[in-house]
Structure 1
Amino acid sequence: MIYRFRVILDTHEDVFRDIEIEASDTLEDFHNAITQAFGFGGQEMASFYTSNDAWEQNEEIALFDMSEEPGALRVMNETLIEDVVSEEETKMIYIYDFLSMWTFLVELAAIAEAEAGMIYPNLMFAHGEIPEEAPEAEFLAEGDEDDDFDEEYDLDPEDYDNLDFDENWN
């Protein structure tokens, strides 16, 4: 079986790649297909994370097991795509280069039969240009505001006289 994925860069601009890959391939094969599709060298650390419909990050599946307890972490080269993704569990998060934190939302779009003569993985479609630097991650949950803390404690950052600290402490 062939899995067709849409891999979306988590940014304000529309940047995504549609990739076909065999369900029996490993997540390492998929990692290599993603890095090639987006023009990365592939030398940086990366991990897939299982995810639910709300895109919440769950179990990590790493490129290498760097945990303190060997074997405690699933690794990409030992994990088949079909063991992580199914018609019911369609979403994953992929993070490439933990210093830059390139974050991708990966979703299974379709399951199909392999086409005779087609070589997989296959980049079906590419849209958008990848930016020079990884987009800044926004860690606010839906409905959160930057000033919730200020409102909760009735603080006004512009009201220096009542902030209870000496602004010239140094």
Structure 2
Amino acid sequence: MIYKFRIISSENEEFIREVAIDSQATFFDLHNFIVQELGYDKSQITSFYITDRNWHKETEITLIDMTGEENSQIKVMDQTKLGELITEKKQRLLYVFDPFTERSLFMEMYEMEDKTITQPTCIRRRGTPPPQFDQDAIKNLDIDDFEDNELKEDDIFPDEEDNGLTSFDEEEWI
């Protein structure tokens, strides 16, 4: 089955990409295609989200599982086929390519064809994609915000009078 997705951006109304990809491809295959098509750095953390009709996030598909749990319910791109989660026309996805500022591409599956395809293909290309990194946000970073400040024990563990907690004897816990 071939899925056809329309990809748009809220940052550039002229930007549109339409992609044809096989339903048996993984989200990782789709991620790699998007990154290559848009000229993005593939080493950056990204996620797909299955959304409802109003673009509210429902299911996350991550680039990597950072929980480290063997029986994790986390969906990982290279282990999840598109056809497992995308089952009908008009289904919507977000592709979060800049998780620190929540910048995303909006995707909607607009057509299904009863054929197969070996490689993802861009079938429509218009406009310039949004830059991968928000240059205004980078310019506004204050380097002083990232200086190492020496923490004192009182900063981490304030006096019991300050927080209303009672202290405990470490030997009770051994």
- Fold match, TM over 0.5? yes
Any unmatched runs of 5+ in structure 1? 137-170
Any unmatched runs of 5+ in structure 2? 137-174
Alignment partner, residue 29 of structure 1: 29
**Hey, what's the Cα distance between the residues in 2 that align with 1:64 and 1:10?**
26
- How many residues matched? 134
Question: 1:130 offset after TM fit, Å?
Answer: 2.2
One-letter code of the match for 1:42? K
Alignment partner, residue 103 of structure 1: 104
SS at match of 1:72: coil
**Hey, what's the Cα distance between the residues in 1 that align with 2:68 and 2:118?**
39
Judge conservation of contact 2:89–2:109 (CA < 8 Å) in 1. Answer: no
Larger helix proportion of the pair: 2
**Cα-to-partner distance string for 1:101-147 (whole Å, 9 max, x where unaligned):** 430111001001337xx6520011111112444499xxxxxxxxxxx
Matches within 5 A, 1:8-87: 8-67=8-67, 69-70=69-70, 71-87=72-88
Question: 1:89 offset after TM fit, Å?
Answer: 6.3
RMSD of the alignment, in Å?
2.3
**Hey, what's the Cα distance between the residues in 1 that align with 2:40 and 2:46?**
12
**What TM-score comes out, normalization by structure 1 length?**
0.70
**What TM-score comes out, normalization by structure 2 length?**
0.68
One-letter code of the match for 1:29? D
Judge conservation of contact 1:3–1:22 (CA < 8 Å) in 2. Answer: yes
When residues 31 and 69 of structure 1 are mapped into structure 2, their CA distance, relative to the original with a 3 A threshold, is same
Structure label with greater radius of gyration: 2
SS at match of 2:31: helix
**Hey, what's the Cα distance between the residues in 2 that align with 1:61 and 1:89?**
19
